Amino acid sequence: MVQRNGDDAVVRHILRIPPVTEDEIQGAKVKLDSVRNKVINGNLTFNEAGTKYSDDESAKYTGPYLTGRDGSTFVTIDMLDKAMVGLLTKMKVGEYSKPVEYESEQGKKGVRIVHLKSRTEPHRLNMNDDYSKISQFALEEKKSKTLDKWLQGHLPMYYVNIDPQTAEDCPLLKKFEPKN
């Protein structure tokens, strides 16, 4: 404790997280293999398994599936880590992978089972296959134009001072410069 002020206390501490050992990884693989068998045999759904056995907090509430930027379970290949991409290229749609070791972006080691729900071949956007995406893009563009229009209408009423060096470096800020 550094300081105490009535019921308030200022404390400092050093938090060390012990590294995950190989024995823990092997134990997790054994446990996940039995969970995988339950899912394959139909005793447990993949959602139930993710909710019940996952350490990932988001999986407990939203389900075990990865989500894209818009919240859907449609994920592009650039959103996945290299190990996941390599694993998915070997899998067929509907398959469950064997438990595999991975390292998260934060450097934490873990074990996971991957379920390939569906696969879409790369293609150009078209109205038949990608209507929802195209409508979302159109809506975002409309929002952006409306915001720009509102800003241009209200900007003359406000004084905005932009550093000349910053304005030179960022062409988007040029529209906020006062017009003489």
Digit-by-digit pLDDT tens for the chain (180 residues) are: 788 888 888 888 887 878 888 999 999 999 999 999 999 998 988 888 888 888 877 776 767 877 777 667 777 777 888 888 888 888 899 899 999 998 887 788 888 888 888 888 777 888 887 888 889 899 999 999 999 898 888 877 887 777 888 878 887 776 666 665
Question: Quick one: tokens of 151?
Answer: 């800003």
Q: Answer for the pair 179, 164: CB distance below 8 angstroms, yes or no.
A: no
What's the CA gap between 41 and 93, in Å, rounded?
17
Query: Cα(64)–Cα(82) distance, rounded to whole angstroms?
Result: 19
Residue 99: what pLDDT?
Answer: 92
Residue 176: its pLDDT value, please? 66
Q: What is the DSSP string of 63-96?
A: -SS---TTSSS---GGGS-HHHHHHHHHPPTT-B
Query: Do residues 31 and 66 share a domain?
Result: yes
Is residue 6 in a domain? no
Q: Assess contact for 115 and 95: CB atoms under 8 A.
A: yes
Q: d(Cα 83, Cα 122) in Å, to the nearest integer?
A: 20
pLDDT of residue 177: 65
Q: Are residues 47 and 104 in the same domain?
A: yes
Residues 63 and 142 reside in one and the same domain: no
- Residues 112/104, Cβ–Cβ less than 8 Å: no
Nearest to 175 by CA among 142, 149, 157: 149
Q: Are residues 96 and 148 in the same domain?
A: no
In a shared domain, residues 26 and 86: yes
Residue 149 lies in a domain: yes
What's the number of domains the chain is made of? Answer: 2
**Number of residues assigned to the chain:** 180
CA–CA distance, 13 with 111 (Å, rounded to integer) = 30
Residue 117 lies in a domain: no
Containing structural domain, residue 41: 22-112
d(CA 87, CA 67): 18
Q: What's the confidence (pLDDT) of residue 16?
A: 80
Q: According to the model, what pLDDT value does residue 178 have?
A: 61
Q: Whole-model pTM? A: 0.60
pLDDT for the residue 144: 93
